[in-house]
Structure 1
Amino acid sequence: MAESKQNRDDVFTCSICMETFRKPVMLPCQHSFCRECIGLYADKSKPVRADETSGITGNEDVHQLISCPVCRAPTSLGREGVAGLPPNFHLAEIVERFSSVVEVEDDTPYCSMCEVENHAKAVKFCTNCGVFYCQECLANYHPMRGPLKRHRLISSMEYLSQDTSQGQVSRHHQSTQQATCSRHGQPFCLYCVTCRMVICLGCVVDHPKHAVQDIKSAAENDKPDVLTKTSELEKVLQETKESLSGVMRLHKKIQENQDLHTQEVEKAYCAALEALQAWRLHSLDAMKTRYSQWRVECSAILKHFQIQAQEMESIVQASKDLLTSMDVEFLQVSQMYTISNIGSAASTPVKYLK
C-alpha cells in the first residue's frame, strides 16, 4: 500500500521542485514541469541566437535554448519564452482530481480552506456552509459572530459518525471545492441580499453595511419565488403543448388532403388515358377496314387492266403480222379487224381509270 502511494506521488511530482505539479507545462520531449519551476530553470540557461542553433543566417531573433532537465533534449522557447510552452491540461486535471480526494484517504477529512500542498486535518464542519475547517482556518474564515454566529458547527468525527460514507465526503468536498471565489479562493458561504450575489468570507469587506445571509437561509427565502415562477412557466408550457398539438393536427390534415387530391388527379388521368386508348384502337380498326376495302377494289381493277393489256397486245401483234403478210391474205383476214373494234378495245382502260 505504501509502495503504491509512493509510485502515485512520483507521477504527480515535478522533477525540479519535487512537489506536486502547479500549472504544469509540457516540453516537446513530452516531459512536464511546473511553469514556475521551468521558468526559474530557463533563467539559469544561456540565451542563444536562432541562427546559432538552426544554421539560418539573417535572423536576428534571440531565442531561449534549454535542455530538458530529465532527458536533456534541446528545446527552443521561441519569442514568448516559457509563456509560450503549452499547458498540460490533462496532467493538471489528474492532479486536481488526486488533490480533491486526498483528504478522504484516512478517517479524518482535511481542511477545505487550506492550500493543496499544505493540507491540515479538519477539526470542525459547518453544516450551513458545507465546509471543513482546521483550527487556524476556523479562526480566520469562520468567526462565530455576525451572520456566521447562527451557523452550526460539529466536529469532524461527529460528521463522519453520521450516515455519511467516505465516498460521500469526497463528493461533498469536490462540490465545495468547485464553488469557490475566483478572487479569494475561498468557498462561497454567504449571500449578499443587497447585491443579490453569493460571496465568500473574504468578500465581506467589499459589502459594508449590506444585508448578508448564509447561503442556506437565502436559498430558502428565494425558493417560494422560484416555485411561483416555475408554476407560471408550467402553465405557459401546457398552453404551448396544446398549441403544438393543434398545429400538429393541422399539419396532419394538410397531408391527408394532399394525398386525397393526388389520388383524384391520378384517377382522372387514368380515366382520360383509357378513353384516349379506346379512341385510338377504334380509329385504327376503322382505318384498317377502309384501306383494306380500297386495296381489294384496287386489286380487281389492276387485274382487269392486266387482262385488257394482254388482249390489246395480242391484237396489236396480230395486226403487225397481218401488215407483213401477202396482199391476198391481208385482204382475206382484214375483214375480221375493223377500225371501230380496235378503237373500242383501246378505250377500255381509260373507262376503268375514270
Structure 2
Amino acid sequence: MATVGQNYEQDAFTCPICLETLKSPKSLPCLHTFCETCIGEFIVSTEQRADQNLSNYPCPVCRKVVTPTNPEDETSQWAASLPHNLTISSLILMQNAKSVEQECHICKRQHKISKATHWCRDCIEALCKECLHLHGLMKLFADHKIVQVKEIDTSASEQEPDLCMISDSCPVHSSKSVVAFCFDHHELCCVLCVTVQHRRCENVQVIKEMKYLKSNKINALVFEVNDIKSNIGNIMKDKGVKQVKLEAGFTEIEVRANQLISSIKGNLDYILALFIKELTLHERNKNASLKKN
C-alpha cells in the first residue's frame, strides 16, 4: 500500500479506513469510497460486534445506513458486489502515469525514491532490486510470486497497468491465495471460500486444472468443428451430384417432350392430309353423280 497523500488531490485517492492509496476502490451509495478489502473487513467486524446476522451496515465515514444488494450472501461477500469506482481508478492511473517509472513501495515508505523492477503478487507491492533481495531472504516470503514490471502486459491500455489489481490474494480473505473459481457466483476463491461460502456450489473448479480442461475443450471443439466441416463438405458434394443429375433429368424430359410433340404433330399432319384427300375424292364423286342426273 502507498503512503498517505499530502494534499487534497492525494486525499481523494486515500482510503478513509487504512489511510493509504485506494486499491480496487468500492463506492457506497453515499459516494464514500474504500478499498474493497477494507470495507469488507469493516462489514465482517461490524457483524461480529453485533453478534448477530446483519441486514445492513453503516458507512464508516458518514454512518449512513447501507442495504446490500445481495443480503442472502455471506457478509464477507457484500463488499465484492459494491460498484467499482472507475473514476477514482482512472484518476489514480493518470496520476501514476505522470511518473515514467514505478517507484518501490518499501523505499517510498522510508521517504526514498527508487525505481521498481519487480512486482510481488502476494504482497501487492512494487520492489526495487535491493528490496527484492531483502524480500527473498525472508523465509515468510519465500513462496511469493514475483514478476518483472516490464513483463506485465500493457497491450489492453495505452496507460500503465493498474499493478494493484495484479494479485493472487483472495478478495475476501486477503491472507490467502486464490486456488479456484466458482462459476455459479463468478468469483475467485481461496481454500476458506471453497470450504465455507461456496461449499454448496456445484460448479467450482481448481484454477490449475482449468488450464488442462480448457486445452481439452479446445481440442474437442477443433475436432468437432473439423468433423462438421467434413460433413458439410460431403453434403455439398452430394448436393452438387444431385443437382447435376436433376439438371440432366430435366434436359432428358425436355428432349423427350419435344420428340413427342414433333411425333404428334407429324401424325396430325398425316391425318389431316388423308382427310383432305378423302374429302376431295368424295366431292368429285358427288359432282360426277349430279352431272349424270
Which interval holds the TM-score relative to the shorter structure?
A: 0.3 to 0.5
TM-score (norm 1): 0.34
Q: Look at both structures and tell me which one has the larger radius of gyration over its CA atoms.
A: 1
Could you say which structure has the greater relative contact order, defined with CA pairs below 8 angstroms and 6 or more residues apart?
Answer: 2
Structure with higher helix content = 1
